[in-house]
Amino acid sequence: MGRLSPYIFFLLAILAFGMIALQPDESWQTEQVNMVDAVLITVGVLIGAHVLRKVGQAVYKRWKDRQE
């Protein structure tokens, strides 16, 4: 499960963004949202989540090694 969990997270995040983008009312295409900013924020969130996951794994491994 440890190897599958990050892929599940990224898949859910991509599906959520896809559902928002493909809504027929086109509410996401407003003048208030710059598309470049939206893409950069999305990429930043996904990269940040990945980095936090890696840091969490390292901390857990170090903690587990001290327990043994």
* In the chain, where the domains are located: 5-67
Amino acid at 55: V
Q: How confident is the model at residue 1 (pLDDT cuts 50, 70, 90)?
A: very low
pTM for this structure? 0.53
Mean pLDDT of 17-27: 69
Does residue 27 have a pLDDT over 70?
A: no
pLDDT band at residue 41 using 50, 70 and 90 as cut-offs: confident
Phi/psi of residue 63, nearest 5 degrees: -65, -40
Tokens of 21: 């983008």
Q: Residue 46, exposed/middle/buried by CB under 10 A (0-12, 13-18, 19+)?
A: middle
Which amino acid appears at position 50 of this protein?
Answer: H
pLDDT of residue 3 exceeding 70, the answer is no
